[in-house]
Amino acid sequence: MKLDMNGWVSIDFMVASMIILLTIPGIVAISGDRFNSANSIHEIAIAKILTDNVAETIEMVYSGGEGCSIILEMPETIDNKPYYLNVNSSGVFVRFHGMMNCAFITPIMISNSIKKGSSNVFMQPGKFYNITNIKDEHGYTHIIIKRTCVGV
């Protein structure tokens, strides 16, 4: 095929150009999906680390015996997204960005007061919590999770 007096365009060159032009948008779309998947996995990993950290702290306080106490700081966000963390006698549960993650703990009575018995404790982002092992008048172990101020 003759282009003009100064050059030639072959069919092979035209087919190769068309293939390249048609595959570039597909490659861009696939790489965008992979990037979104990687971000989602990163968020899930951060949530898992948070639930595991809270569960590990509760287990350490429980195994430390009566009077053992640890102060835990909750992060402000999970990957710049708000979250809701709930602790009860079966585990630590976090909800964020339409997803949920959990870490199971030794079944034990958990509350924010010795008088309540076992209940749900909601831990707010960016706050400090004192996690304490206490025995009640009947000799039962309770894990008390109370919000505290820094340095107290």
Residue 75 pLDDT: 93
Mean pLDDT of 30-57: 86
Q: Would you state the structure tokens that stand for residue 30, as one six-digit string?
A: 């696939």
Instruction: Report yes or no: 105 and 88 within 8 Å, Cβ to Cβ.
Output: no
Q: Using the predicted structure, report yes or no on whether residue 56 has a pLDDT greater than 90.
A: yes
- Residue ranges covered by each domain of the chain: 11-148
pTM for this model (two decimals) = 0.75
- Cα separation of 43 and 96, whole Å? 9
Over residues 1-25, the pLDDT tens digits come to 445 555 566 788 888 888 888 888 8
Over residues 110-138, the pLDDT tens digits come to 988 777 666 889 999 999 999 999 988 88
Task: Say which amino acid occupies 109.
Answer: M
- Cα separation of 20 and 24, whole Å? 6
Task: Say which amino acid occupies 103.
Answer: A
Mean pLDDT of 139-150: 88
